[in-house]
Amino acid sequence: MKKFNIPPIYQSNFIGKIKEIRRTRDKLKKDFSPTILNFGPVVIKIARHFGFCYGVENAVEIAYKTLEMHPDRRIFLLSEMIHNPDVNKDLLDKGVKFIMDTKGNNLIDWKILNSDDIVIVPAFGTTIEIQKKLESIGISPYSFDTTCPFVEKVWNRAAQIGERGYSIIIHGKPSHEETRATFSHSQSGAPSLVVNDMSEAKKLIKYIKKEADESQFREEFKNQYSSNFNPLTDLQKIGVVNQTTMLASETQAISDYLKEEILKFYNVSEDQAALHFANTRDTLCYATNDNQDSTFALIKEKADFAIIVGGYNSSNTTHLVELCEEKFKTYFIKNASCFINESDLSHFNIHTKREEITKNYLKSNQETTIALTCGASCPDSEMEKVLMKILTLFDNTESPENVLNTI
């Protein structure tokens, strides 16, 4: 796989050595068990796979290379480069300006842009409508495009099955940048619909079976379907693709459920499935799968609690939090600054969408075991800061160098 030139501020000697040790021993990536770091009074069980994925490394490399090569030009990002507050802050500090927020609301008027400006397309990709807007200004949407190749793979797969007469069902968060981009590209070639979760997939079955009318469909899936989408005719042949950062298991469950129900309704066998359902299993992102499989292995372990590091608006990180919450008391933190002191921790509640402070989260004078991982947009340097901050909360810990020798 390609090696990227990542700025030193995002690298970590300690985390890098852990990853290299595991990579060397498990080149085929069949062992998803966590790495056990025994520091004495605290044991940290760190997930097998975590941190920057291929798409994020690609985006970061392009962004920083663009800054280096064009110091005299105005540089804009369509929106956040990736969902990590430290990376985005560093880009803003270097003079990059964001045109939109993550919901697509303008922060800067398009009118101030001109053909001499550089606009970087983030890893999530962008819509056809925004591509055309940039072109109308005289800015190429492809010259500084950091769209993840795995996102583009979803677009290509949707286009392929759309050409064969299937409507596209997108499993994703309707307001997420990647889903908005995928929906835009998908609907250009086929009727398209976004479903957020299994509950919406179950609602959709009513229309596949023609058990509910069109007006009800318009209300239940408001702003989630392409123009002129007709639930009476456009749900006879479907294929499911996904926002690449969703839970892979949920995407598969939705796909399996819709397939089973549509085949039962049309009374066709598995051999005839292609008459009504397209095989799109290969649109799941490898990094999402690896990180989630590593988290499944992590929660099989014993631990007093889990810490998940990443941007609070990061979809893939949020799903790791959801998985860990099934087993552990879980704290979702954006960076090492969330450790207020030895007893107080600031963290994000994914259910209330608010930051909270938990006091006395550590058991005093007791050996502690912590499960630790992070999202695909979290730098190794931030994971090292979090790990080292944890060590300062305990007395007489073993040195990191000695612990590396025991892995």
Catalytic residue among 57, 80, 177, 178, which? 178
Residues, the chain, total?
A: 407
Model pLDDT for residues 199-228, shown as the tens digit of each residue: 999 999 999 999 999 999 999 999 999 999
In this prediction, residue 282 carries a pLDDT of 62
In this prediction, residue 285 carries a pLDDT of 78
In this prediction, residue 1 carries a pLDDT of 66
CA distances from 84 to 175, 288, 314 (A): 18, 16, 7
Predicted TM-score (pTM) of the model is 0.91
342 contacts 393 by C-beta, under 8 angstroms: yes
> For residue 392, how many C-alpha atoms fall within 13 Å in the half-sphere facing its CB?
12
Q: Which CATH architecture has domain 149-283?
A: 3-Layer(aba) Sandwich (3.40)
d(CA 273, CA 271): 6
Model pLDDT for residues 274-314, shown as the tens digit of each residue: 999 998 876 767 888 899 999 999 999 999 999 999 999 99
Query: Can 8-53+287-404 and 149-283 be said to share one CATH topology?
Result: yes
d(CA 117, CA 139): 7
CA distances from 41 to 46, 388, 395 (A): 16, 14, 7
Topology given in CATH for the domain delimited by 54-137: Rossmann fold (3.40.50)
Q: What is the residue extent of each domain of the chain?
A: 8-53+287-404, 54-137, 149-283
The yes-or-no answer on residue 178 being catalytic is yes
Name the residue with tokens 């040195």: 399
Model pLDDT for residues 51-86, shown as the tens digit of each residue: 999 999 999 999 999 999 999 999 999 999 899 999
d(CA 344, CA 333): 12
Mean pLDDT by 10 residues, the chain (407 residues): 89 97 94 98 97 94 97 96 93 96 94 97 96 98 95 95 97 96 98 98 96 94 96 96 91 95 95 93 78 97 98 95 97 97 94 96 86 97 98 95 95
**H-only helix segments in 109-247:** 128-137, 149-163, 177-187, 198-208, 214-220
- Strands (E) across 350-398 are located at 354-359, 368-374
60 contacts 10 by C-beta, under 8 angstroms: yes
State the angle between helix axes of 286-298 and 248-266 in degrees (0 to 180), rounded to the nearest 10.
Answer: 110
DSSP β-ladder status, 368-374 and 42-46: parallel
288 contacts 244 by C-beta, under 8 angstroms: yes
User: 118, 124, 143: which is closest to 84 by C-alpha?
Assistant: 124
**Percent of the chain having pLDDT more than 90?**
92
Q: Which CATH architecture has domain 8-53+287-404?
A: 3-Layer(aba) Sandwich (3.40)
Amino acid at 68: E
The conformation of residue 399, written as its DSSP 8-state character, comes to P
In this prediction, residue 2 carries a pLDDT of 78
